[in-house]
């Protein structure tokens, strides 16, 4: 993918506010989408996933929205906490297709006290 | 719950040396994936294995090879190392047929001097 070097998009929110992280995916044939959270020096941690036959899925404090028409995915985090500070990646795949996930460019979420 | 285990966690090598990274998937998972993540970049898929056979191939250099063993652990062999190989290398695993979610290990940080 295209390199963005060390300059990740950044989202700064106040502790307790809701966060919305957006992602534009590339392949209209993709039918499985995952959000990962990656803290510094650690591996991507699974947050929530959604299949293309759904447009919304909720987890604990997180909601993923999928708009297939415009190939857009969003992650909403309710009542953001300091521990939510991390880089968030969306990833896409085709069930039964190629194995490798295609990751979007990460967003660095910063929580202001 | 048991997670993906990777070793070593850190590795320093000289140019033109070789390196071997190991991955132990989550128990019962039958598919392993290798990803490379450069500084400030998203993970890039390298290669995957299902039931000890190569399943899919991504942007893995010819200098790299990998295999999956009978106990499902996998090794990524890297030869003629170059400065540009310095990166985080992640292994992920999944259980084919049950779910598509790939769970990532903590990564191996490789530094080539």
Q: What is the residue extent of each domain of chain B?
A: 5-112
Neighbour count for residue B26 (Cβ, 10 Å): 18
The Cα of B45 is separated from the nearest Cα of chain A by a number of Å equal to: 5
The CATH superfamily holding the domain B5-112 is Immunoglobulins (2.60.40.10)
**Closest B-chain CA to A50:** B101
pLDDT at B98: 61
Q: Do B42 and A1 touch (CB under 8 A)?
A: yes
- 3-class secondary-structure state, position B85: helix
A88 C-beta neighbours (distance < 10 Å), count: 25
**Which residues in chain A have their CB less than 8 angstroms from residue B109's CB?**
41
Q: What is the pLDDT of residue B99?
A: 62
What's the pLDDT score for residue B2? 84
Nearest-by-CA chain B residue for A9: B40
* CA A102, B34, B95, A88 torsion-angle sign: negative
CB count within 10 Å of CB B62 equals 7
Separation of alpha carbons B98 and B63, rounded Å: 33
User: Is B83 strand, coil or helix?
Assistant: helix
Domain residues of chain A, as ranges?
14-92
Evaluate whether A80 touches A21 at the Cβ level (below 8 Å): no
Top-tier CATH class for A14-92 = mainly beta
Positions of chain B with pLDDT lower than 70, given as ranges: 98-99
Per-residue pLDDT, averaged over A5-33, amounts to 88
Residue A3 has pLDDT above 70, yes or no: no
Q: Give the model's pLDDT for residue A4.
A: 33
Q: Given pLDDT bands bounded at 50, 70 and 90, which one contains residue A7?
A: low
């Amino acid at each position: 993918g295209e390199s963005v070097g060390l300059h990740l998009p950044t989202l700064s929110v106040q502790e307790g506010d809701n966060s919305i992280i957006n992602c534009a995916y590339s392949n209209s044939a993709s039918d499985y989408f995952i959000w990962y959270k990656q803290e510094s020096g650690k591996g991507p941690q699974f947050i929530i996933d959604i299949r293309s036959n759904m447009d919304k899925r909720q987890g604990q404090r997180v909601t993923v929205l999928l708009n297939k028409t415009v190939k857009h995915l969003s992650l909403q985090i309710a009542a953001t906490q300091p521990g939510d500070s991390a880089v968030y990646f969306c990833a896409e795949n085709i069930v039964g297709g190629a194995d490798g996930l295609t990751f979007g460019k990460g967003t660095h979420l910063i929580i202001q006290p | 719950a048991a997670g993906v285990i990777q070793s070593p966690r850190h590795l320093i090598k000289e140019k033109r040396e070789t390196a071997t990274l190991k991955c132990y998937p989550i128990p019962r998972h039958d598919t392993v994936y290798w990803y490379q993540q450069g500084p400030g970049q998203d993970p890039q898929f390298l290669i995957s294995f299902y039931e000890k056979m190569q399943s899919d191939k991504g942007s893995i250099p010819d200098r790299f090879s990998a295999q999956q063993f009978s106990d499902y652990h996998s090794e990524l062999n890297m030869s003629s190392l170059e400065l540009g190989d310095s990166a985080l290398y992640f292994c992920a695993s999944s259980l084919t047929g049950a779910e598509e979610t790939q769970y990532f290990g903590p990564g191996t940080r490789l530094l080539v001097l």
